[in-house]
Each structure stands twice: as C-alpha cells, then as structure tokens.
Structure 1
C-alpha cells in the first residue's frame, strides 16, 4: 500500500507542479486553460493506467491463491478418501478376526 500511495503522491505533485508552471507562463488565458486541462487529462490517464495495472496484479494474486486453495482442498479430499479406505479395511479385518474367534468359540 505504501508503494501505491507514493506513486499517487508523485503523480499528484507532478500535476500540481505542471499546473502552477503553466499558470505562470506568459500565454493567453484560453491557451493556458487548455494546457492545464491537457495536463490533468494526461495525469488522469496515467493514474488510470497505474490503477488498472495494480488491479490486474491483485486479481492475478487472488487467482493464484484460489488455485492453490482448490489444489489444497483436492489433496485434503484425496487424503481423506485414502484414510477412509484404510479405516474400512482395518475394520473389515477386525470383523473377520472376530468372526473367526466366534466360530472357534462355538466349536468348543
């Protein structure tokens, strides 16, 4: 955030400096007003471009974070599936052992 504030401050300072310089230039009023308007339009366009660039960077970072989160979630689901299958296999083995013990106890 500090970097973007610095850029905005520099652009605002440049715009104000240009406007003051134009105001003190020995030109007609109409020509001076046009120069000021052109300067502000240029600074506005530059600021809009910087904002768009910053916005694209933020969107890109959020997009990557979303992909990373989805990937982590998919890994978690896959691990849970593996764990579930391991638990089921262990329970089935335990059940088979208990059935074998019960059958042996019934034969006695």
Structure 2
C-alpha cells in the first residue's frame, strides 16, 4: 500500500469511528437533535435578516448623505463659477469701454488731421 492509499484508509476509518462515538455519546435522541438544529437555523436566519435590514438602513443613510454632500458641493462650485463668469463679463465690459474710448479719441484726431489736410489742399 502506498502513502495515498494509507491516508485515504485512515481518513475513512477515522470518520467511521468519529460517527460511531458521536452516536453513542450524543446527549439527545436524533429527533431532538434535529429539532435543535432546525431551531438554531431559524434563529440564525432571523438574526441574519435583522443584520441585513440594519445594513440596508446604513447604506441608505450613507447614500443620502453622500448625495447631499455632492449636491451641496456642486451648488457651491456652480456659484463660484457664476461669480467668475460675472467677474470676467464685468472686466470685459470695462475693457470694451476702454477700447471704444480709445477708438473714439483716435477717430477725433483723424478727423482733425483730415480737416487740416483738406484746408491746405
């Protein structure tokens, strides 16, 4: 017999001996043991359902909190962006006024030069 066969035989023999000892020394009859196992399974199921419901509540609250923070952050960034756009528009308006004033001055100067040229001709 090789090592693998010996190991397999040892596992089988140990399992049989363990099962026999378990049956001989069991504190309750089989039907009572099965009932205890069934009751424990029901309790475990109920506990798992309770914990799952609690986890769902935590996830829902966390999701709502995260959504609120994202909305708040987005609103703040939108206000900041609007302020920046308004500031740029304001600056551009002043720059446009400056350009118009400069062009009007140049136009006045050109008109004067044109009048002088027309008088001399």
Same fold (TM over 0.5): yes
Deviation at 1:95, TM superposition (A): 0.3
Pick the structure with greater CA Rg.
2
The gaps in structure 1 that reach 5 residues or longer are: 1-22
Structure 1 residue ranges (4+ consecutive) displaced by more than 3 angstroms after TM superposition: none
Number of residue equivalences: 86
Deviation string, structure 1 residues 19-70 (Cα, Å, up to 9, x no partner): xxxx9333x4333322211111011111121122122212211221111011
Alignment RMSD (CA, Å): 1.9
Greater relative contact order: 1 or 2 (C-alpha under 8 angstroms, separation 6 or more)?
Answer: 1
The gaps in structure 2 that reach 5 residues or longer are: 1-24, 110-121
Q: What TM-score, normalized to structure 2?
A: 0.63
Q: What TM-score, normalized to structure 1?
A: 0.70
Q: Which residue of 2 is the match for residue 94 of structure 1?
A: 95
Q: Which residue of 1 is the match for residue 3 of structure 2?
A: none
